[in-house]
Amino acid sequence: MVERDKRKPADQDPAVNAEMPADIERLADELAEVREHLGAISEVLAVIGRSASNLDRVLETVVESARKLCGADTAEVFLFYGDGYRLAHGSGMTAEYWETIAPTPALLDRG
């Protein structure tokens, strides 16, 4: 940030005025990101409120929101079922990937 000349009002200081468009653009980008995060949180909370007993729907929404917020191509949630971790929900995956990974547990290994 540029030091402004305190003898001039801020709106008359060329150094301050030169930085204003960049500051406005940066703040607009930050605001858009915060709004996106709040929208995702709101969506997840709405699903929890509507279907708190439906874990599948909640996890599906959480995975999709996380993928979008992270800018990731895919996102996955694995849950532990007796013999290992199994793919419970995914977002952005191809049907072939899902069909390959979903039936095969990731077995626990001490190695």
Sign, CA dihedral 66-68-69-71, equals: positive
Please report, for residues 19, 41, 66, 92, the alpha-carbon distance to residue 80 in angstroms, rounded to integers and kept in the order given: 53, 25, 20, 22
Angle at 12 between CA 7 and CA 14, to 5 degrees: 100
> How do the pLDDT tens digits run along the chain, 111 residues long?
556 556 666 666 666 667 778 888 888 889 998 898 888 888 878 888 887 788 888 888 889 988 988 889 999 999 998 888 999 999 999 999 999 988 888 887 775
Q: Rounded distance, CA 28 to CA 9, Å?
A: 24
Q: What is the pTM of this model?
A: 0.60
Query: C-alpha 5: how far from its chain's center?
Result: 41
* Number of other CB atoms surrounding residue 63 within 10 Å: 19
